[in-house]
Amino acid sequence: MHYRLLFILLFTAACLQAQTNCNQLRTLLENGDIETAVEAIREIKTPEAACNIVIGEVYLQKGRNDLAMQFFEKALQQSKKDTEDQAAALNNLGLVFWNTGNYYEAKEYILQALNIRKKIYGNTHEKIAASYNDLGLVSTDEDAALENYEKSLAIYEKLYQSKEHRKIAQSKTNIGIIYRQMEFYGDAQNHFNDALKIWQSLHPEGHPNEGFILTNIGRTYQLLGDMDAAELHYGKALAIYKKHYGQKHPEVASTYNLIGNIYNIRGKFEEAIGEYQRALIANSIYFDDQNIETNPSVNQYFNANTLLNSLYYKAQAFEDLHLSYSLKFKDLKYSLSTLQSADSLIDNLRQISTNEADKLALGEVASQVYENGVRLCHYMAEVSVKKDPYYELSFYFAEKSKAAVLLEAISNASAKSYANIPDEKLAEESELQSEIAYYEQKLAQKPDEETEKRYRQQLFELKQRYSRFVQSLETEYPQYFNLKYNVHIPTVKEIQKGMGEQTSLISYFIADRNQRLYIYQMTKDKFRADNVPQTENFNRYISGLRNSIYFKDDDVYHFTASQLYNILFPATPGKNIKSLVVIPSGRLGTIPFEALLTKSSKSALDYSSNNYLAKGYAVSYQYAAALYIQNKNKPLSEGKSNALLCAPVTFKNLSDLPATNDEVNKLQNIFTGKSIDPEILLEADASEALIRSKDLSLYRYLHFATHGVVNETNPALSRIFLKETSDHDGNLYSGEIYNLKLEADLVTLSACETGLGKISKGEGIIGLSRALLYAGANNVVVSLWNVADASTSDLMTSFYNNLSGANFSQALQKAKLDMINSSSEYSKPYYWAPFVLIGE
């Protein structure tokens, strides 16, 4: 008993000592003495949740996101449900996710913390204000960020009658940042100056938050064009950061970047490169090389976004040095090697990101790196004796900017197959994915506040479960992990090796920064790279072509279709070419290339005699060259000889589609004649419930003749309409399509606008066609605008009649030519041009 009592006393004393040490640690943290705080962590033994949170916050301030996450996760495991410790751990994990570029995850974690704190404290507590502040920090929308910051400030001002409080200073700083982003520079500077006075009053000896405010004042001066004032404030901030954080810290690195940008603007490129090199050193754990020709490992950093910025700026400065001063080719090589480091970093960040929204956001940032790579390599080719290697590198960067998230997702699905993951594991994953898709779709419909809170909680828990599930797969099946991230960008020679003699691939890259259009054309034995200007009317031509076809404006159509052909085809595809594979970029994905006019026509009204691109070539589309190669290498479903034909025909709140009944019946006869067994789902049988209950992987062909709608603002709400039942609303949403298991050679959406979606920079069009490819479809036929019921039925009947083997593009070309040559109303592009084939 004495030993037990002694143990309890010793344990209690240790806990009290740990608590004392943690309180001292909190004081050091609040005073900005980070280096002493890091040293003090060593004195703390067996910390509890609250203490692990403080230790994590110290490492967060130090810029060690990896260590911070370890302590916050440990604290989360130690915390009881619905306690401040749980809320603090979740909130801080959100900040770590934000630091590492996982913005969606960050918001979800902080929202969960806010909900817990509201249960504990009500609506006007300091902790509630802290959560609102952090929600503002991770918001990607300026208005939402400002609203959260103002909520935070209102609570702090109510709680602290003295205006000289650290929390008030913090809120004013953040509001100032938003005002600057909104270009309200005077209001921004007023808020920054108020915050600076508070910090200087509270900490006469100095505090790192002063550095943060000085940096933001400098940025505002820079935007106002006062470079001297900007540089002065950056210099003051740098001195403060070094005093409190030491030589290595992401804020030190970020400030070096800002000073480098000032030098670069002034044309002092070598000085700028020196600052960027110092930024790389400050942001790297082990890298200390001051030689500007070297770059650090992209695996050892404090802050990934800061490192990406440093590499991007440094590459740009080397290019500027060459163009404006040195004309030395070696400077271009240094620029290229730095961009290649940035490219490797982006690949690493894709592996870290766990949420598709974050991956898409990364794609937008990465697109700037790739645009520089495209431009730089194209220029290097022009000034080099050996041009092809640099043209091919330019093509590589162009392809890296396309469909990276989709490629990874398809690679992920393939990796599971090769790694022999058990069926029960895949079934568990499918169930989790379906539940996640359900709640995401419900949240996208903007439910009431209480329902939204409940859905968010359920979605958050599901995503945590799914994250743990994926981590366990990667650990238990290392082959899966290796294959999952092995997304290979094919070289020009690899693409050419898989091409047919009569095929030409043409890939586009829109460079918005320098208003250029890069065009890469290749056949089995030739490769050509062109760089043409985007004329001031380029975007207008794209909109004009779509609108003129849809509204049947003959004059505008003939003009824009001819002008765009001249821009998009600087060289004709070649005499022996019969098929074109088009890889569009951005807004080019919204137009049907088949409707371009290769020559001016004598009569604008004689539609059958127009020189459409469709008359010379069978055209298909792809998101990226890597997907083209994957599709070429996929074995056809020769063992399958069945089709599923689906048409609801009548609808509750939409116009009926009587021609789809005839369409499906005609297709039934066509498939039967080709020894393919068709299964028909008409009227009530064409239900969402039945489609989702079927094993769709058994069908070689899937055909949906129905209504479709694309939501360009929120792609999760894009859907096709089926019959509703008591347990399903009849809307087959994009997120639900992602979770279908398809192995079809062809999926056709004989519906309106199914080929459109949200244009995501660095990814392409996000909509129903992308969802079908992800789900496993090898080829997809979709439409680019609202289509007519009867003419669509005729086109589809002709398409399937012409189908022979797997050359879907030729079958679709013949169907379109049948309509063009009909000399009827249907020869207008409005009727035949909207349907496009994504695939081969």
Give the model confidence (pLDDT) of 377-413 as tens digits. 999 999 999 999 999 999 999 998 886 666 666 666 6
- Residue 18 sits at φ, ψ, to 5 deg, of -60, -40
Q: Are 278 and 256 in contact (CB under 8 A)?
A: yes
Buried b (16+ CB within 10 A) or exposed e, 31-47: bbbbeebbebbeebeeb
Specify the 3-state DSSP secondary structure of 138.
Answer: helix
pLDDT for 352 beyond 80: no
Please give the pLDDT value at position 26: 79
| Residue 612 banded pLDDT, cuts 50, 70, 90 | very high
At 616-675, the pLDDT tens digits run: 999 999 988 888 887 776 666 655 779 999 999 998 888 888 888 998 999 999 999 988
At 277-322, the pLDDT tens digits run: 999 999 998 899 999 999 999 888 888 889 999 999 999 999 999 9
Strands 677-682 and 731-733: unpaired
What residues contact residue 553 under an 8 Å CB cut-off, 6+ apart? 547
How far is Cα of residue 834 from the mean position of the Cα atoms in its chain? Answer: 27
Please give the pLDDT value at position 13: 40
CA–CA distance, 730 with 724 (Å, rounded to integer): 4
At 250-267, the pLDDT tens digits run: 899 999 999 999 999 999
CA–CA distance, 781 with 804 (Å, rounded to integer): 16
Please give the pLDDT value at position 360: 63
Q: Which amino acid is residue 53, in one-letter code? A: I
pLDDT for 3 beyond 60: no
Please give the pLDDT value at position 8: 36
Partners of 835 in the β-ladder: 783
Q: Are 145 and 113 in contact (CB under 8 A)?
A: no
pLDDT for 102 beyond 80: no
Q: Are 167 and 160 in contact (CB under 8 A)?
A: yes
What residues contact residue 305 under an 8 Å CB cut-off, 6+ apart? 99, 101, 365
Tokens 């279908």, residue?
740
How big is the chain, counted in residues? Answer: 840
Q: Are 208 and 241 in contact (CB under 8 A)?
A: yes
Partners of 292 in the β-ladder: none
CA–CA distance, 217 with 4 (Å, rounded to integer): 60
Please give the pLDDT value at position 1: 42
Half-sphere exposure of 168 (CA within 13 A, CB side): 18
pLDDT for 113 beyond 50: yes
- Residue 449 sits at φ, ψ, to 5 deg, of -60, -45
Q: How far is CA 669 from CA 85, 400, 577, 678, in A?
A: 67, 44, 33, 9
Buried b (16+ CB within 10 A) or exposed e, 78-90: bbeeeebbbbbbb
Q: Are 374 and 392 in contact (CB under 8 A)?
A: no
Tokens 């001292």, residue?
24
Q: Is 568 exposed, middle or buried (0-12, 13-18, 19+ CB in 10 A)?
A: buried
Q: What percent of the chain has pLDDT over 90?
A: 50
Please give the pLDDT value at position 356: 60
Please give the pLDDT value at position 752: 67
CA–CA distance, 797 with 782 (Å, rounded to integer): 15
Other Cβ atoms less than 10 A from the Cβ of 470: the count is: 17
Q: Is the C-alpha dihedral spanning 246, 249, 253, 254 positive or negative?
A: negative
Residue of 365, 341, 370 whose CA lies nearest to 353: 365
Helix (H) or strand (E) holding 367: helix 356-382
List the beta strands (DSSP E) in 564-628.
Answer: 579-583, 618-621
Average pLDDT over residues 160-182: 90
Average pLDDT over residues 501-511: 94
Specify the 3-state DSSP secondary structure of 709.
Answer: strand
Tokens (6 digits) for 725: 């039942």
Tokens 């090389």, residue?
289
Tokens 């490192």, residue?
307
Average pLDDT, the chain: 86
pLDDT for 70 beyond 80: yes
Specify the 3-state DSSP secondary structure of 485.
Answer: coil
Please give the pLDDT value at position 11: 35
Please give the pLDDT value at position 5: 42
Residue of 611, 595, 580, 479 whose CA lies nearest to 545: 595
| Alpha-helix runs per DSSP H in 31-125 | 34-41, 49-62, 65-78, 84-99, 103-121
- Residue 702 sits at φ, ψ, to 5 deg, of -125, 130
Q: Is 158 exposed, middle or buried (0-12, 13-18, 19+ CB in 10 A)?
A: exposed
Tokens 């808020």, residue?
191
pLDDT for 415 beyond 70: no
pLDDT for 105 beyond 90: no
pLDDT for 12 beyond 50: no
At 700-742, the pLDDT tens digits run: 999 999 888 877 777 777 888 999 988 888 888 887 887 788 8
